[in-house]
Amino acid sequence: MDFLFRAYPSRQALAEALAAGVAAVLSGGIATKGRARLAVSGGSTPKLFFETLAKAEIDWADVTVTLIDERWVGEDSSRSNAALVKRHLMQGPAARAHFLPLYVEGLSPDDAQPRLSALLRTFEGPFDAAILGMGGDGHTASFFPGADTLEWATNPQCSDPVVPVRAEGAEEPRVTLSLPAFIDARLLALHIEGEEKKAVFDKARADGPTLDLPIRSVLRAKRETPLEVFWAP
Ligand X SMILES: O=C1O[C@H](COP(=O)(O)O)[C@@H](O)[C@H](O)[C@H]1O
Which residue ranges make up the site for ligand X (CB under 6 A)?
41-45, 68-69, 71, 81, 133-135, 142
Our CB check for ligand X shows the closer of 25 and 85 to be 85
Name residues whose C-beta falls within 8 Å of residue 47's C-beta, 6 or more positions apart in sequence.
84, 88
What is the C-alpha separation between 222 and 59, in angstroms, rounded? 31
Our CB check for ligand X shows the closer of 60 and 144 to be 144
> What torsion do the CA atoms of 70, 76, 77, 79 make, to the nearest 10 degrees?
40
> At closest approach, how far in Å is the CB of 93 from ligand X?
24
> At closest approach, how far in Å is the CB of 136 from ligand X?
7
> At closest approach, how far in Å is the CB of 99 from ligand X?
15
What is the C-alpha separation between 158 and 43, in angstroms, rounded? 25
> At closest approach, how far in Å is the CB of 166 from ligand X?
14
- Share in percent of the chain as helix, strand, coil (round to 5): 35, 20, 40
Angle (CA) 124-128-130 rounded to 5° is 110
Q: Coil, strand, or helix at residue 164?
A: strand
Our CB check for ligand X shows the closer of 35 and 79 to be 79
Our CB check for ligand X shows the closer of 58 and 214 to be 214
Indicate the DSSP class of residue 155: -
Our CB check for ligand X shows the closer of 33 and 212 to be 212
> At closest approach, how far in Å is the CB of 126 from ligand X?
19
Which has the closest alpha carbon to 29: 157, 126, 118? Answer: 126
**CB 50 within 8 Å of CB 88:** yes
> At closest approach, how far in Å is the CB of 161 from ligand X?
16
Our CB check for ligand X shows the closer of 52 and 81 to be 81
Our CB check for ligand X shows the closer of 62 and 193 to be 193
> At closest approach, how far in Å is the CB of 35 from ligand X?
24
Name residues whose C-beta falls within 8 Å of residue 176's C-beta, 6 or more positions apart in sequence.
68, 69, 70, 141, 142, 143, 153, 162, 163, 165
